[in-house]
Structure 1
Amino acid sequence: MKKIYFQLLCLSLSGPTFAQTNPTELSNTSSLTPDMFPKTPEANGLSKFVDIPSGNYTGVATFTIPLYEIDLNGTKIPIQLSYSTKGVTVGEIATRTGLGWSLDTGASLSQQVIGTPDFIRTGTRPVIDHLTFDPIHNENDKQLAREVLDIMQGSTKPQDLQPDVYSYNIVGSGGHFIVRSNGIDGVPIPMNQDKIRRSWDYMKIYNDKGVLHNFTTDQLVQSFNSCNTNAGFEYNDPNYKIGQIITPTQHKVTYHYNEYVNSTYVTSVSSSKTISTHRSGPLPNNFGQAPETCHNYSVNKESILTKIDFPNGYIEFTYVTTLNKGDTDRKDLPGDKILKTIRVKNNAGALLRNYELNYKYVQATETYPIDRNYLKGIDYRLFLTSVEEKNSKGVYKLDYYEGSKNPTRISNDQDYWGIYNGKGNTTAIPTVRNIVGLEGFLFNFSGANKQPDLTYGVIGNLKRITYPTKGFTEIKYENDEFFKDFTLPEDYEIIDYPGYVSTDSNLNYDFDITHYFEKKISGTFNVIGRQNEPSAHGGCKIQIKNLSNNSIIFESDKYGNWSTDVNDGSYRIAIFPATMYNYECEAEFTTIEKIPKETSDTGIIGTLRVQRIQSEDAKGHTITREFTYKNPVTRKSSGKNFGESYFDPVLYDEIPFKPDEATLYTSYLQKLSITNNPGWQTSTVRGKSIGYEYVQEIYKGDGISFKKQYRFDNEHDNGYGYRPRHVIQLFWPMDGFQRGELKETIEYDASGEWVKKEIYEPDYSTELNKGLLNNNGGEAIDVGIVLKYGSKVDERPFIFDVFSVKNYWIKPLKKTTIEKLNGQEIVKEETYEYKSPPKHTYPWKISSLNSRNEKIVQETTYPLDDPSETNMSDLIEMNIHSAPVRKKTTNITKNIKLEETKSTYGKFTTKNFVLPQFVYVNKGNQPIDTSIDKEITFDAYDTYGNLTQYTVKDVTTSVIWGYKGTYPVAKIEGARISDFSATDIKAIEDAVDNATLVTKLKSLISTTSAAMITGYVYEPLKGVQQMINPNGTSVYYNYDAYGRLLNVMKEDVNGVKTTVKSNEYNYKN
């Protein structure tokens, strides 16, 4: 018999600019944003799989190259290379495995700083009642406000009032969390049963099965800003690394970091231009001025992963710094390293996997002056091109979308979402019209084209994976879309752009005439005052100059109305005295833009979604999955934009002046600037600003044609977006995390008829929330306070605003399945009930209808439900919350209890492991009687926590473990372990090699007649190599170089082997 298997491929901010701060300038513009403390390239690469989860809701797919899977006594830990199709951004830095790829070793943790890093001054965060917080009149609040704002004055340890967001991925779980103000307790968002404990140098995270993940801090990364040299900005950035994964029975995986890097790199660029100021009171010259370009950059000296130890083996990682002869360093990130080999070995040193990773550089076609150390490498990008397993000669080959142009990492050619658009921009600041200045005048700025362009946006993204079998998968992308929910204009949108120049304020004004503008400019020219001259005629002159060739196209000294024709181009209108006398004159004028009628109700943004995934095996068999994202009723896009839509680039600031240490401040500067990003929120809790309510997945292939449609929760708007011309901006990326919850799936056959529906009904509950100030049960579990200096010392020396940290337990209530069978609709319902008040997130009661339309109810309790029972408190402390204690299944229709089970736990071995001891089973309507209903007894465990003897009814089975307690090597049915010689058992446990083990097992089998013994011999880290039957014959299992089962051979009593099963492996999308 031959089975064919398929390898599955799962589809599963730059902020405000930094002003130069000096001792007399209380700059609010210097407020810290998440971009001031960026994640390292490695942390960013891993966190995107949490922040932008793959799946149809986001239109993002995840592709993996499996390297190895660690089996930690039943806990599976995959080691793999992972790629997310979220889209490559201009500023993205390649990890040590190439652009877009990450090395996933089973667990990761990263911290997104909001404000300043949590707990860098003290071990706690102040608990503030935002309803009574008063830093103006309350002295304690005023002192706290000053401590918070010490960051502006160079304090090395500022206070922080905004919780940071942590992204984590652990065995069987993952998501986001915050740390409470006590600095210890983590709270998962959304609520789950993971247990999170923080200390100053580690983070401990337990999943609900009690598996502990120890993360340690690696504070060897610092971030700086080129326009601010205050020591207050020089913090060690938060950077966590997985140290150990430990099961409840103390089976461990240990991670070693024995190499270091030393790199300096730019993380983002802030560009700004002051367009209007207003002074209130006396201020020094140049007060409030800031450079037009500032760089955020990091110095990274972190340790890097070199080895993973686990029972029976280890994995080694080696790195290089150069790819080609003549290179002296890593080109894209000087001082950092590139992962070159991954070798899996057993404890004897035998090489089981030997991967070599190959790369290439792509150089930018544009140039940028690299005059600072942190700019080195911005003109190169590192790409992973192949992964070869040397033992089997199997190769994964990787191809990417290419183009004739490639940007630097700080290119101006990027859209609003940071995706390359190839527009040839000379500035990062977008074009803006009709800015009303602080004095009431209007300003225009001709800047960057920030519109998306898919031709350039796909460059650098993964295009094709060719597998060792010679089959391949190819990905096609398209831009994310959303439905514009507004009324379209009838014909044209006509916009008047008024302008103003005068001799006592703005002497000139620059403007553009582009494609949709009328080719005429008109206005009025008047005298508003004069000095020492009775006649004003001829006292001033108005002039319009073509800036492209410096020619004057219009000039007049006559007052009144005027107009002139113009062509497309850039112009400057100026007014100035024409005589020796100083006349005060003014000119008003208007340009008119006529924008054609909007023809589409679909908006496009720069981020990417998957349009098609096509896979073909080595034999030419093809399957294609096409994705559409439309509302099935309106046929319009089902996308909704939860991010920025207007992109106002204007930044308003108020900067108080502090003349000395004793005086708070006496006057202030108001400033209006335009910037490349004043704080737009182009990403959300789901990592992308677009989410899709409906997604259709269409399958086509050899003899295959069907469709699945998904419907998701796409409500819950963000509460906090960019607020133009506000001094305070609120940023909380976790608002609306309920989006993306699956609500319905529908399967269609080849004719387009639906054949199956599944409907999911969740509730977003706050019952498990513990809020601030003992305000439990509400949706807010914390608050963040953004605090700045106010502009009026007598009225508001401080101003602040508040955002809520909301949390929910996503609680399933009902699942309905409807299937069509012979023209009839078969409806099945499953409902979920929870204890009140709930103690955990698991359902207590699940009700369903069986095939005979009878109502079946299953009731389950867990350790948290009965903490007083024996050893339950130990399970709770270990965070083993998901272990069922009691289960009862009842046929409600017939009023019959079908089965009830109860599990109890005991303490075993010298390590006091809390492990299952008895299982009681009862059928019928009587309650469990522990004296007669005992079904299973777990009699004994070894020091590794492995079960060595159990009894079902009156039949005892014993188990001998070998390979240092990692594999069961003998199953003895009908005898107790004490019935055998301890010396014989020890010889089997400590067998030095497989040949010795086979000899010892056969000897035990041949000398035992009172019990039935089956022996097992392993190829460590692969699987069972030989099974020895009770009659002495064997079954042999053979594997390929990847550790996959190739065939099974059976031996008869004469020693003749025949193949009874063989497997062939291909790749399925």
Structure 2
Amino acid sequence: MYKLILKNSVKTLFLLFFLFISATGTAQSDDSKFLPNIVPPSPTAGELGKFGNVPVGLFTGAANISVPLITFKTKDLESPISLFYGSNGIKVDEVASNVGLGWNMNFGGVITRTVRDKNDETQTTVYPPDDLSNATDEQKVQFYKAAGQDNADTESDIYSFNFNGNSGKFIYDKNGVPVLVNNQKIKIERTGINNADFILTATNGVKYYFTEKETTTFRSSGAGHSIPVGSVTAWYLSKMTHPNGSEIYLTYENYTMNYVASNSQSLIMSYPPIQEDCWKVVYAKAPTLSGIISQNMTVIGKRINKIFSKNMTDGYVTFSYYSQGIYDEVIGDNKIENITLYNKENIEIEKIKFDYLKTANQRVFLQNITFLDPSKKYTFEYINQTEFPQRLSYSQDHWGYFNGKNNINLVPKNITGYNLDLNNIDYNGADKEPDKNYAKIGLLNNIIYPTKGYTEFDYESNTYWGEKTTYPTKTILNLERSPEDHNPTGSTYTITSPINQRIEFLGRVNYVSNQAPQYDENGNLIPDPSNTGHFSAAMQISSTDAPGVFLPFYELTQFGVPYPHQSSFTFINSTESQIVDNVFYFDAEAGKSYTLVLYKNGIRAAARVDVSYYATAPVTVNTNIETGGVRIKSTKDFATEGAVPVYKRYYYANKEDINHSSGDNGKTPLYLDIATQRKTCSSSDGMVLCLYTTLYDLVVSSSSMISLFDTGSSNCFYKYVTVSEGGDFFENGGEMKEFTVDRDGAGQIVLGDTEIKSAPLTNFGWDNGLERKSQIFQKKKPGSEFVIVAENENKYKLDLSYNKEITAYSVRKNYEEPCPLSQSVQNFSIVEYKTKGYWFYLESSIAKKYDLKGLNPIETTTTYQYNNPVHIQLTSQSTESSLQETLQTIYYYPQDASLVSEPFVNDMITANRIDTPLRTETFKGGVKLSEQKTQYAKDDTTANLLLPKFIYAAKFPNSLSTGNGLKRKITYDKYDEMGNILQYTPEAGLPVSVIWGYNKTQPIAKIENTVYDNIPVGTITNLQTLSDADKDNCLGESCSEQRLRNELNVLRNSLLGSFVTTYTYNPLVGVTSVTDLKGMTSYYEYDTVGRLKFVKDNELNVLQKYCYNYKGQQTDCSDNTSTTVILYKSIARSGLFTKNNCAVGGTGTSINYTQEIGAVNSDISQADADNKGLIKFNADGQAFANDTANCTFWNVAKSQIIMRNNCVAGGTPDSASYTVPAGRYFSNLSQADADAQAQAEINTNGQAYANANAKCTFWN
């Protein structure tokens, strides 16, 4: 921004906005802090925006990018709208939000619900005995059987909320009481028809109403259609209400979105492969890959369309969307096109346009957001965004991120478990290994800011430290017997196995004709008559330790089960038309050598075996292992194109070993489960007996049975993260942070033999992600040790005064019991897990600062106490330095026992206004320094609102005679129905009254030394009516704003002895005029996008002009449009001028001439005013010199011969010449006067000079 200052005297112009100056001009003490802040701040130049320094969530490595858009405000409330981007990778099946992939828009608030088991309100909730572990067997069985009913709900849903800086989770106990997971004193109420809505009251008493409901319905298809299951999954904020009466409303439009949320697939086979069915019939199910099963989702949702208040002066915000089919990824997923802020006259104050890119793969990326000022624009660039695959692509890793693999199925390969090698089964399993080069595709890698600065992001794979085994390339040994080889004892080969391994064999035996192939007239091969088919080949193997003892080979069945071939493996012959591959293997032991013998017989028979094995041992090392998702590797902030960047490199490791990942990998994917069925066996006569058999199937799922995001949104957490500043090697120092990694854990099995892998976890990890330590350090030179500059250590306390547990049971019916018994529950698996409620807080923080050598620390310990679990607010904060100096502040709240007698504390508690300290005390070394107390009232003077009435304070020790040593500092005498202060009286001061206008949202007059009730009601009403009608910003008598100013001046003139300051506004933009105590008005004008443009004085002279441009852009101040007359004043000048009208012989003197500011005015530009001022300055300065300066005349040289006249008798006198040089004398009158002065010197001094210097001559 370029600001043109036109007058030096404006430096104190804005002071009145920030200080309440008393009418007498007396300087105020710090008691001014008790005065209400009801006067508007000075208008400021438009915010051009910042660039760079994007925070990184170090615990997970995700960039946390926030872009503020618009904040809708009332007098007491606000609803900010912003964009947020934070990602460790874009999942393939992810549906873009209404602002594009990876982005979310924050506005208002929402409560979301995760339905566990069945939704709470529509099912029969089954609760166990209070102490299940000590219950009787009969009580347990009754609970187990009840829990196993299809319509039973044994798990409480969990609700998450996020609104206006408040976020958390809660759950309902069996009594219907909400329990917060992290202890917060947010009041939660159910309301509406059937208690279907929510009211949440924050600790400042603001109520938030969540009544707009979104319903989600799931249904699977592909293996028959499941029964649709639908629940309310979100409640959107529809209203917020301040205790003073301000309200903000949010309205929504309905939309429906139908799409496939995900696809699944399974592989099923009997396990064990061969089982006994009824009556000893064999049960064997070959591996069967299912078709694709689609999880269909229908969302009957809510889309924000307007934010407004009940006061039209606040304006309103609208949201518009692109038409269906333009940028939606799925039907109904319309993207936001515009967000617009209007004033009450429906004039756009701000408008934000969203532009997107929709790729050929139907993925939508946010490209630009452009504000009403078109130069204020954000541009977003992504990594190879056009290569990001379409939704539901099979190219996914275990975590759902893109891995670039050309999979044709979803069930993964390379799965182990249940002593079954599924790799033995050919089902074209999916490669689900992560690939960092593909996982980062589609991620944001560049933000270009309105300043034209930009930030670049580089990513790398998440890693953890572990053992990694690298196998060598397998050796392929070719064993061959030719048709001419007739050795009956076989051919022998020896191999040595360095490890336990499976040695694989691929063998063939076939007839080799010695004549050219013959074909019939149809092109068919004519069999060689010499090929009788009487040939064969076989393989034997024995250990060199026990020659002659032949070991078994194995061949895999269609179930993947090994089938043994004892002593030898005999090949199946190939024919002339079909080659047969004989695939078998042998399990070798480490360190043993084996003898292989290949036999073959038959005329013209040839045999070949390819032996594949590891001839050398694999290498196992501890190293960084890649896992799912990516993290920020580095950021570069550029001020402009080509500028030297601010570079940060992130190492997710301890600074002492930056190549050793500190990552905690979390859960390993699990895809296997056992499905059990009990089958009733029929008798031979057809009668059904209570006989059954139990059969088992192995189910391989396409998705992990356990959540890979078990504790939060990232699968990988980092205990240590070290940031290098300025380069990769800590060129400008660095910082290291240490976090707590504490994951949630599995529940407890209470029935059955195995856990339910999909059961929710118990949230043990209350401190997961908390920062424990940080260090700032320097590196003096490459290769040198780190020098600690500063460090900090945090300690947290888990306060057991709030210790909640809600127990839930995940129930799975493993099979239908064919012969149910009253006490039989063996067909169930039940896992008990808990949702725990915690109260934890920062207990202390120890900060140390070191000298340049990393020595001599100065330590400061800050201790925090939360001594009242009723309100859980900070009650004491103390700081102790290494100098043994302790400073302490103690806070008292409405729910503290010491304030029980204070007026209206119960009203504050009822309204949940519990977070504001009513009394504060400070101490130093245990000695009290000060105290402040606020007393509330709720009566006629406060318009029956609960508002501050008195503030008392004092410094200690003092000589006050009152019991508590406090003195009243201010009285809030009167409020209106909106909670605006109408009158207050400072300590020993004059009453100050305030008139509120613009629908009672802005102060339009501050009147000192006048009681509010003494101001005529008609005067107040007239001023408020005029302000409500103000819809322009001009000075003509017909202008609504000028009419308001005129009436404000009438008010000023009518209140003799009062000191009045008045204000006018352009609501939602800023103050437009301020008339001070002396009646002098300053005017403020704004450009079309709401930025300050002109500051003018009382005479409309431009004092300041603001011109806006970004760095590197040419300054443009050509826009002089104004709602008032623009007068530019010439600058002040001063200089010497020489008189130039002297008579001949005279020399003019110089004199200083000063031209004041504004000698010349211009309505064109400042430059024009200055140029004209310079012309006038030169003309007036010369005339001033000619008129007032002097002419100086210097004498010409004069000489005269003078005879000596004092010789004694007889002497003859000589003569001497007396000379007055030129320039000895001057005159400001004339040349003649200067010469006369020279002649006067001759007349005065000439004779004496001759008498002294001429000679007397004497002759004889």
TM-score range, shorter chain: 0.7 to 0.9
Aligned counterpart in structure 1 of residue 701 of structure 2, from 675, 681, 688: 675
What does the per-residue CA deviation read over 1:230-268, in whole Å, with 9 as the maximum and x for residues that have no partner? 77542234122121122222312211113x323311111
2: CA distance between counterparts of 1:57 and 1:177? 24
For 1:162-201, what aligned pairs fall within 5 Å after superposition?
162-187=155-180, 189-199=181-191, 200-201=195-196
Change (3 A) 1:636 1:932: closer
Q: CA deviation at 1:272?
A: 0.9
User: What residue in structure 2 maps to residue 532 of structure 1?
Assistant: none
Shift in Å at residue 899 of structure 1?
Answer: 0.6
Kept after mapping to 2: 8 A contact 1:833/1:843: yes
Among candidates 864, 871, 877, match of residue 832 of structure 1 = 864
| Equivalence for 2:267 | 273
Report SS of the residue matched to 1:1000.
helix
2:306 matched residue in structure 1: 307
Whole-angstrom distance in 2 between the partners of 1:194 and 1:10: 33
The secondary structure found in structure 1 opposite 2:437 is helix
| Alignment partner, residue 1013 of structure 1 | 1060
Measure the CA separation in 1 of the matches of 2:595 and 2:976. Answer: 99
Q: 1:1060: how far off?
A: 8.5
Q: Are 1:685 and 2:680 an aligned pair?
A: no
Partner of residue 1194, structure 2: none
Question: Counterparts of 1:698 and 1:440 in 2: how far apart (Å)?
Answer: 45
Structure 1 SS opposite 2:62: coil
What is the CA-CA distance between 1:79 and the residue it aligns to?
0.9
1:684-706 deviation line (CA, Å, top 9, x unaligned): 333112112222333439xx974
Kindly state the Cα deviation for residue 203 of structure 1 after the two structures are TM-superposed: 2.4
CA distance in 2, matches of 1:491, 1:838: 62
The answer as to whether partners of 2:327 and 2:364 remain within 8 angstroms in 1 is no
Residues 1:950 and 1:494: Cα distance change in structure 2 (over 3 Å): farther
689 and 139 in structure 1: CA distance in 2 versus 1, 3 angstrom threshold: closer
Distance 1:391 1:403 in 2: 28
Q: Which residue of 2 aligns with 1:42?
A: none
Which of 461, 464, 476 aligns to 2:443? It is: 461
Q: Separation in 2 of the partners of 1:544 and 1:223?
A: 52
- Counterpart pick for 1:814 among 831, 840, 844: 844
Aligned-residue offset at 1:116: 2.9
Q: Is the Cα contact below 8 Å between 1:653 and 1:727 reproduced in 2?
A: no
- Larger deviation, residues 988-997 vs 83-92: 988-997
1:848 equivalent in alignment to 2:874? no
Counterpart CA distance in 2 for 1:214 and 1:182 is: 23
Deviation (angstroms), 1:1058: 0.7
1:294-352 per-residue CA deviation (whole Å, 9 max, x = no partner) reads 21110123231111113411111111235xxxxx5655212332211211101221111
Kindly indicate whether residue 638 of structure 2 is the aligned counterpart of residue 605 of structure 1.
Answer: no
CA separation in 1, counterparts of 2:132 and 2:1096?
74
Query: Which residues of structure 2 form unaligned runs of 5+?
Result: 4-44, 474-497, 506-549, 556-564, 585-593, 599-610, 683-687, 781-785, 1031-1040, 1113-1260
Question: Deviation per CA, 1:1013-1044, whole angstroms, max 9, x where unpaired?
Answer: 2223222223323322122223344556664x
Rounded to whole Å, the distance in 2 between the matches of 1:1060 and 1:825 is 50
CA distance in 2, matches of 1:287, 1:146: 28
Q: Within 5 Å, which residues of 2 pair with 1:539-578?
A: 551-554=579-582
**Counterparts of 1:657 and 1:330 in 2: how far apart (Å)?**
53
Cα offset, 1:934, TM superposition: 1.9
- Are 2:1013 and 1:978 equivalent residues in the alignment? yes
Opposite residue 213 of structure 2, the aligned amino acid is D
Which residue identity does 2:811 align to in structure 1? Answer: L
Instruction: For residues 486-538 of structure 1, give each alpha carbon's deviation from its aligned partner in whole angstroms, at most 9, with x where no partner exists.
Output: 697999995545999xxxxxxxxxxxxxxxxxxxxx972699xxxxxxxxx99
- Deviations 1:683-739 (Å, cap 9, x if unpaired)? 1333112112222333439xx974442423323233129999745543227441411
Superposed counterparts of 1:818-967, under 5 Å: 818-820=848-850, 824-835=856-867, 838-849=869-880, 853-866=884-897, 868-869=900-901, 870-892=903-925, 895=927, 897-908=928-939, 912-924=944-956, 929=963, 933-955=967-989, 956-967=991-1002
Distance 2:748 2:401 in 1: 20
State the SS of the aligned residue for 2:295: strand
Residue 144 (structure 1) aligned with residue 176 (structure 2):
no
Instruction: Give yes or no for the alignment of 1:263 onto 2:263.
Output: no
Q: In the alignment, which residue of structure 2 is the partner of 1:524? A: 552
Equivalent residue for 1:1049? 1095
Letter in 1 for 2:859: V
1:1034-1045 matched pairs, under 5 angstroms: 1034-1039=1081-1086, 1043=1090
The one-letter code sitting in structure 1 at the alignment partner of 2:896 is: D
Q: What is the deviation of 1:750?
A: 7.3
What is residue 625 of structure 1 aligned with on the other side? Answer: 648
Q: Provide Cα deviations, 1:649-703, integer angstroms capped at 9, x if missing partner.
A: 212233456999x9999654422121222423221333112112222333439xx
Of 369, 384, 391, 1:387 maps to: 369
Which of residues 397, 418, 443 is equivalent to 2:400? 418
**Is it true that 1:88 corresponds to 2:80 in the alignment?**
no
1:439 positional shift = 13
Contact 1:307–1:315 at 8 Å: present in 2 too?
Answer: yes
Contact 2:798 2:839 in 1 (8 A): yes
Q: Which amino acid aligns with 1:203?
A: F
1:274 is displaced (CA, Å) by: 0.9
Code of the residue aligned with 1:263 in structure 2: it is: M
Greater alpha carbon shift after TM alignment, 301-310 vs 651-660: 651-660
* Alignment check: 8 A CA contact 2:148 2:812 kept: no
CA distance, structure 1, for counterparts of residue 583 and residue 848 of structure 2: 79
Aligned with 1:754 (options 776, 788, 798): 788
Between the aligned partners of 2:1111 and 2:136, the Cα distance in structure 1 is: 67
Greater mean alpha carbon deviation, residues 230-239 or residues 248-257: 230-239
Match of 2:772 in 1: 743
Change (3 A) 1:384 1:440: closer
For the residue of structure 2 that corresponds to 1:218, the secondary structure is strand
Inter-partner Cα distance in structure 2 for 1:383 and 1:911 = 52
SS at match of 2:211: strand
Partner of 1:511: none
Give secondary structure in 2 for the equivalent of 1:387. strand
Instruction: Assess, with a 3 A threshold, how the Cα gap between structure 1 residues 1015 and 480 changes in structure 2: closer, same or farther.
Output: farther
Which residue identity does 2:801 align to in structure 1?
A: E
1:889 CA drift (Å): 0.9
Give me the whole-angstrom Cα distance separating, in 2, the residues matched to 1:192 and 1:264: 37
1:1012–1:1030: 8 Å Cα contact kept in structure 2?
yes
Q: Deviations over 1:563-587 (max 9, x none)?
A: 799xxxxxxxxxxxxxxxxxxxxxx
Segment of structure 1 superposing worse, 442-451 or 872-881:
442-451
For 1:1015 and 1:988, the matched residues in 2 are separated by: 11
Structure 1, unaligned stretches of length 5 or more?
Answer: 13-53, 151-157, 323-327, 365-379, 501-521, 528-536, 566-588, 772-780
Partner SS for 1:633: helix
Alignment of 1:372-451 (within 5 A): 380-402=362-384, 405-432=387-414, 435-436=417-418, 447-451=429-433
Quick check: 1:125–1:182 contact (8 Å CA) kept in 2? Answer: no
Deviation by residue 1:335-378 (Cα, 9 ceiling, x = unmatched): 332211211101221111122222221123xxxxxxxxxxxxxx
C-alpha separation in 2, matches of 1:494 and 1:539 = 23
Whole-angstrom CA distance in 2 between matches of 1:115 and 1:203: 22
Counterpart contact for 1:123–1:183, Cα < 8 Å: no
Distance 1:393 1:141, change over 3 A: same
Name which of 784, 787, 807 aligns with 2:808.
Answer: 784
- TM (norm. structure 1) is 0.77
Pairing of 1:1050-1069 with structure 2 (within 5 A): 1051-1052=1097-1098, 1054-1059=1099-1104
Aligned-residue offset at 1:409: 1.4
Q: Which has the higher contact order (CA 8 A, sep 6+)?
A: 1
Residue-by-residue CA offset, 1:55-76 (whole Å, 9 max, x unaligned): 2212112223322112333544
DSSP 3-state at the match of 2:912: coil
RMSD, aligned CA: 4.3
> 2:1047 is paired with a residue of what secondary structure?
helix
Compared CA separation, residues 718 and 607, structure 1 to 2 (3 A): same
Could you tell me which amino acid in structure 2 is paired with residue 943 of structure 1? E
Q: Contact 1:9–1:63 (CA<8 Å) still a contact in 2?
A: no
The counterpart of 1:342, out of the listed 339, 342, 361, is: 339
The one-letter code matched in structure 2 to 1:190 is N
